[in-house]
Structure 1
Amino acid sequence: MSTISRRIVLLSSAALAGAAFLGPAQADDLKITIGYQTVVEPSKVAQADGAYEKATKAAIDWRKFDSGADVIAAIASGSVDIGYVGSSPLAAAASGLPIQTIFIVGLIGESEALVARNGAGVEKIADLAGKKVAVPFVSTTHYSLLAALKHENVDPKSVEILNLRPPEIAAAFARGDIDAAYVWDPALGQIKTTGKVVLDSSQVAAWGAPTFDAWIVRTDFADKHPEAVRDFVKVTGDAYAQFLAKPEAWSVSSPEAAKIAKITGAKVEEVPQLLKGYVFPTLAEQASDKFLGGGTVKAIEAASAFLKEQGKIDAVLPDYSKYVSSKYVSEAQASN
């Protein structure tokens, strides 16, 4: 691993509105607010089954967000305890927000892609010059788009890059207001129906700019409720283990695919293929040097350097280790 990206870090009033702050909960009356996104991945089954509530013995308020930027904003406000973000907003937030990365969801591959609208005249990256391309700013797809332009020697200033969230991207694409978009599901599946994939994040990763998704936790919450964080990580790891043990069983007709589709809004027939769009680390791999044991820190640093180069953040910190913790995955593995 060596780089990162996904979703904006603007503390918008819209992101904060309606997010009631939950004060410190007592051990026997624990409430956890979790910010999730509509990414197709195995832990959605555990979410649908109530496995997190059972393991943590907590009342969980699941809040859906369209972007990691909004998740970061909610965490910054204190209204979300645990959140799902991409590596780009994670890198941007790691410049001062008191958070810890506790689980690497997966390395992003085909699950994020650049799609050109039919008739837009875009066949390759070089064709984006002079075109309108939509992407959620400071997201993994924004990072991947900029990395692809750099690799193909296309000046980003020659492309009209528009900041739109996934639902807005799908609508703008359908209206013909944009020529291309780099996004994830379910918006990705929607725009594919009237467009063609020009590039996906597996190719960008091969060019040296991989991206990933992760679960993060507010440090103050983790300090007060370490057992709950451990149990959250264990449930997530177990969900991944079940998928990795027999991925072919999560077929179109499986209850797992149906549960994932219901929570994410993805088409159930597309779920099996979308699950192949990620490389999911096992619980044992989480604490290794490749991930939380070292690689993630280097990845955040590399992503931060890229974001600074693009003028998205002001400075790169000398050390990002405090923003990554392998403690909870190690404890979760030991409790198996």
Structure 2
Amino acid sequence: MKIKKYTALLTAILSVGILITGCSGAKTSSTATSTQQATDSAQPKEIRLGYFQSPNGELLAKGEKLLEKKFPGVTIKYVQFDVGRDVNTAMASGSIDIATIGTPPGTNGIVNDLPYKIYYLHDIIGASEALVVKNTSGINSIADVKGKKIATPFGSTSHFSLLSSLKQNNISEKDVTILDMNAQDIIAAWSRGEIDGTYIWQPAQSKLLSDGGKVILTSEDVAKKGAVTGEFGIVSNDFASKYPEVVKAYIDILDEATKSYKTQSDDVVKTLSAELGLSVDETKQAMNQISVLDKSQQTQYIGTADKQGTLPQILKDTSDFLLTQKAVTASPDVETFKKAVRNDLYK
């Protein structure tokens, strides 16, 4: 099965004026330490932040309310997403300001000229995303997935890694029944015995492993053969234009949270455990399955005002792959992706 195109979906949603915050697939919560309006004209009244339940520095920043502490007069509205295609829809409709998105859906958004830019690389995905199968499925290697039912959220980093692993092992997609499901539906289908396995992320991965599952391969394995995936931060062009200092401040907040994350102190693990809904041990395991990047490490990928990083080429390679899957109608040159990365925010 092929990765779904987003363009028609975005057009349809925008034409009827539906905002993603009113759709299933996104959960919202608002917090504010003060109801007063921001007195600083350089600050918005509200920041609408889309996030994933990923075990990274941003989730820690949310749990520790670092954004609220930095901007006490601003309402912080959190919108939880399960898949990147919904983030693209929300950005296209103007219903969020800042968000996290995976490399494949983010690449798709850039190709389709959605109104956002990349300002931060949250993590490089390793074992936190994996092909997990039932112990009773008869699957003991990637070669055994032929004739099996494997679920994954279409258009996601997990979907990209699943398709990449099939290609790397000379397995045709036609030999596997690949089902489009979100994480919660995957957990339900697993418990009902409707699927043999799934390519999925944390925290769903840990829940399935504790329910008779085992790992066959991970995104770290897939990346070693050239298919790198990660999660990066995007900001709407309108918000970045109006509030550039807020964007810079949020980068500093993420840097603070990521450095704290790397200590894996008891308080850090406890906060993330509550956000992920996992035990302390499961949370520690999830934290060790991705590579988080502080501000000093961003420049390797994002670059600086004087030098391009490696992220644009990673996105170009992803775009080329999406083209083979007919998920995009064209794969632009690397200059398109260079323009989509805010390397000017880094020295």
TM bin, normalised by shorter chain, reads 0.7 to 0.9
Which of the residues 159, 163, 186 maps onto 1:142?
A: 159
Q: Which residue of 1 aligns with 2:314?
A: 299
Q: Is the 8 A contact 2:5 2:327 kept in 1?
A: no
Residue 315 of structure 1 aligns to which amino acid in structure 2?
Answer: A
Q: Which shifted more, 147-156 or 259-268?
A: 259-268
Deviations 1:291-331 (A, max 9, x none): 4432111111110100001111111112211211123344x
CA apart distance, 1:17: 5.3
Distance 1:89 1:15, change over 3 A: farther
Q: Distance in 2 between matches of 1:8 and 1:211?
A: 19
CA apart distance, 1:29: 4.7
Q: Distance in 1 between matches of 2:52 and 2:5?
A: 14
Q: Which residue of 1 aligns with 2:215?
A: 197
Which of the residues 71, 75, 98 maps onto 1:59?
A: 75
CA apart distance, 1:18: 1.9
Q: Which residue of 2 aligns with 1:333?
A: none
Residue 173 of structure 1 aligns to which amino acid in structure 2?
Answer: W
SS at match of 1:178: coil
CA apart distance, 1:44: 2.2
Q: Which residue of 2 aligns with 1:263?
A: 275
Percent sequence identity is 32
Q: Is the 8 A contact 1:134 1:163 kept in 2?
A: yes
Q: Is the 8 A contact 1:113 1:198 kept in 2?
A: yes
Structure 2 residue 219 is matched with structure 1 residue 211: no
Residue 48 of structure 2 aligns to which amino acid in structure 1?
Answer: T
Distance 1:226 1:198, change over 3 A: same
Distance 1:208 1:29, change over 3 A: closer
Q: Is the 8 A contact 1:112 1:183 kept in 2?
A: yes
Distance 1:51 1:35, change over 3 A: same
CA apart distance, 1:48: 1.9
Q: Is the 8 A contact 2:261 2:268 kept in 1?
A: no
Q: Which residue of 2 aligns with 1:72?
A: 88
Structure 2 residue 288 is matched with structure 1 residue 276: yes
CA apart distance, 1:125: 1.0
SS at match of 2:206: helix
Q: Which residue of 2 aligns with 1:16?
A: 20
| RMSD after superposition | 2.2
Deviations 1:267-310 (A, max 9, x none): 3321111111111222112123x444321111111101000011
Q: Distance in 1 between matches of 2:236 and 2:177?
A: 36
Residue 225 of structure 1 aligns to which amino acid in structure 2?
Answer: Y
Which of the residues 273, 276, 286 maps onto 2:298?
A: 286
Query: Higher relative contact order by CA 8 Å / sep ≥ 6: 1 or 2?
Result: 1
Q: Which residue of 2 aligns with 1:225?
A: 243
Q: Which residue of 2 aligns with 1:311?
A: 326
Q: How many residues align?
A: 314
Q: List aligned pairs for 1:176-191, cutoff 5 A.
A: 176-191=193-208
Distance 1:30 1:328, change over 3 A: farther
Residue 328 of structure 2 aligns to which amino acid in structure 1?
Answer: I
Q: Which runs of 5+ in 1 are unaligned?
A: 1-5, 331-336
Q: Distance in 1 between matches of 2:310 and 2:44?
A: 36
Q: Distance in 2 between matches of 1:291 and 1:197?
A: 32
Q: Distance in 2 between matches of 1:45 and 1:86?
A: 18
Structure 2 residue 98 is matched with structure 1 residue 82: yes
Q: Distance in 1 between matches of 2:87 and 2:204?
A: 18
TM-score by length of 1: 0.88
Q: Is the 8 A contact 2:203 2:276 kept in 1?
A: yes
Q: Distance in 2 between matches of 1:28 and 1:296?
A: 29
SS at match of 2:327: coil
CA apart distance, 1:46: 2.0
Residue 260 of structure 2 aligns to which amino acid in structure 1?
Answer: Q
Deviations 1:130-187 (A, max 9, x none): 1110010111111101110011100011111000001111111111100110000121
